[in-house]
Amino acid sequence: MREIVFDTETTGLSFQGGDRMVEIGCVELINRVETGRTFHAYYHPERDMPAEAFAVHGLSSVFLGDKPLFAAAVDELLEFIADAPLVAHNAGFDFSFLNGEMRRCGRPLVCTTRMVDTLQLARSRHPGAKHSLDALCSRFGIDRSHRVLHGALLDAQLLAQVYVELMGGRQIGLGLVADAAIVAPSATRRDRADVPMRPSRVFRASPTELAAHAAFLQGIDIPLWGVDASH
């Protein structure tokens, strides 16, 4: 099964309020194992970058000034995600910006039935705990020491590891149980008439070995088995 784990960076919290998506990062999973294929893009937001958003991701208006508009580069994104389920943390937020950009450039919206929300998964599996990406990385022992600022691709890569852990860990992709269930046991030698049966092997100490063992015992000064338990 192919899935895409993704994350976005934006100019703020509300597309309807005038904010825009400025970065997206995607990680491909096959049977919940990373394939190494990723997609990463920056977009010109056609507006200024608020200081609050810059403090989160460090993407300035100057840096984004020569980046393409979303409408001009959307085909590459759509080709990568294809029809795969889309996994995100607090996925409603990311979907609101993704579909906001799609609507703005006249493209069909990404169906929300494809949405997999790791925040909801974490809440259901670990109620009462902290569910931020940082907290989940700590819970599962995932190294995030290189995460100084938010970055869409970096966060998607961390989230991919978190998602695999939330879904049961890396052993889920091995597929051993299903294979074992359909393999019939092979015929044993006892079931095959064309193979002659060997007589059972008898393992018994030889007289020489018995004599050597007796001599060894004689050389033990105070054997434990000869001690009077009453003393």
Q: Which residues are known to be catalytic?
A: 150
Q: Tokens at residue 148, please?
A: 């100084």
Phi then psi for residue 56, to 5 deg, are -80, -50
Say if residue 7 carries a ligand binding annotation: yes
Q: What pLDDT, on the 0 to 100 scale, is given for residue 177?
A: 39
Q: What pLDDT, on the 0 to 100 scale, is given for residue 183?
A: 36
Say if residue 134 carries a ligand binding annotation: no
Q: What pLDDT, on the 0 to 100 scale, is given for residue 184?
A: 38
Put residue 4 in one of left, alpha, beta given phi > 0 → left and psi -120 to 50 → alpha: beta
Q: What pLDDT, on the 0 to 100 scale, is given for residue 103?
A: 98
Residues 6 or more apart in contact with residue 131 via CB below 8 angstroms? 119, 122, 123
d(CA 62, CA 147): 22
d(CA 108, CA 38): 23
Q: What pLDDT, on the 0 to 100 scale, is given for residue 222?
A: 75
Say if residue 155 carries a ligand binding annotation: yes
Q: What pLDDT, on the 0 to 100 scale, is given for residue 188?
A: 45
Per-residue pLDDT of the chain (231 residues; tens, 9 = 90+): 999 999 999 999 999 999 999 999 999 999 999 999 999 999 999 999 999 999 999 999 999 999 999 999 999 999 999 999 999 999 999 999 999 999 999 999 999 999 999 999 999 999 999 999 999 999 999 999 888 789 999 999 999 999 999 999 865 445 443 433 333 344 444 445 566 666 777 778 888 888 888 888 888 877 776 655 454
In the chain, what are the domains? 2-174 (3.30.420.10)
Asked whether the beta carbons of 129 and 135 are under 8 A apart, the reply is: yes
**Model-wide pTM > 0.75:** no
* Helix H or strand E segment including 41: strand 33-42
